[in-house]
A and B are shown apart, each in its own frame.
Chain A
Amino acid sequence: EPEVTQTPSHQVTQMGQEVILRCVPISNHLYFYWYRQILGQKVEFLVSFYNNEISEKSEIFDDQFSVERPDGSNFTLKIRSTKLEDSAMYFCASSVPTGMNIQYFGAGTRLSVL
């Protein structure tokens, strides 16, 4: 069964450093998403991406965040200057935006900012 894959599974970085989290969505999907989950808290929407542009973003998705689809398969989330509070699990999801728009989630990347 097709699945969303995310790399790395765990990323450790120093505060102030840039990180890029990578995702390979399901191949025929057209909508892509990033969510984050701080330990012990609920999953929060960050951004949705369609047709090579951001279609919706939350208040969390400020100027330090950016997304990109650099080629036909990858979807990346960049955090320019990481802060301690960016430590969280980051989930990528993808969907075909028809019908129920079921989003399929990757296993997540755990980001630890030291």
Chain B
Amino acid sequence: KNQVEQSPQSLIILEGKNCTLQCNYTVSPFSNLRWYKQDTGRGPVSLTIMTFSENTKSNGRYTATLDADTKQSSLHITASQLSDSASYICVVSAGSNSGYALNFGKGTSLLVTP
């Protein structure tokens, strides 16, 4: 069964600090891994997307890493801002033979405080 596990479940950090979120997955066949940001009551917004051949990808203050061998990914947020407070969701795509269905983790709830 395809699964995506994230840790920690929630995290509180001070504004300006860095943090790293973790994702482990068992999805087959693997197509790509995405990190989404979801504000409360809104739809998910894509931050990064990586295939198995990519080890790292950055989008501004967000840097994602992927180890396809160990099936682990991380999202590093640098110099956090209050607006970074949201749920960060790791999503793994199983590819076209699965109708491009996305497998979602439960998310890490991040709170950035002044």
Residue-wise, chain A 73-114 has the 8 Å CB interface mask toward B (1 for contact) of 000000000000000010101010100111111111010000
With both chains docked as a complex, state the minimum distance between the C-beta of A47 and any C-beta of chain B, in angstroms: 8
Most buried by A among B31, B102, B105, B107: B102
List chain B residues, Cβ under 8 A from A33.
100-102
Most buried by B among A91, A100, A106: A100
Given contacts A45-B102, A56-B101, contact A97 B46 (CB under 8 A): no
* Interface band, chain A: 20 to 34
User: A41 at interface (Cβ–Cβ under 8 A)?
Assistant: yes
Q: When the two chains form their complex, are residues B106 and A108 in contact, meaning their CB atoms are under 8 A apart?
A: no
Most buried by A among B45, B104, B106: B104
List chain B residues, Cβ under 8 A from A56.
98-101
Q: When the two chains form their complex, are residues B104 and A43 in contact, meaning their CB atoms are under 8 A apart?
A: yes
Q: When the two chains form their complex, are residues A100 and B89 in contact, meaning their CB atoms are under 8 A apart?
A: no
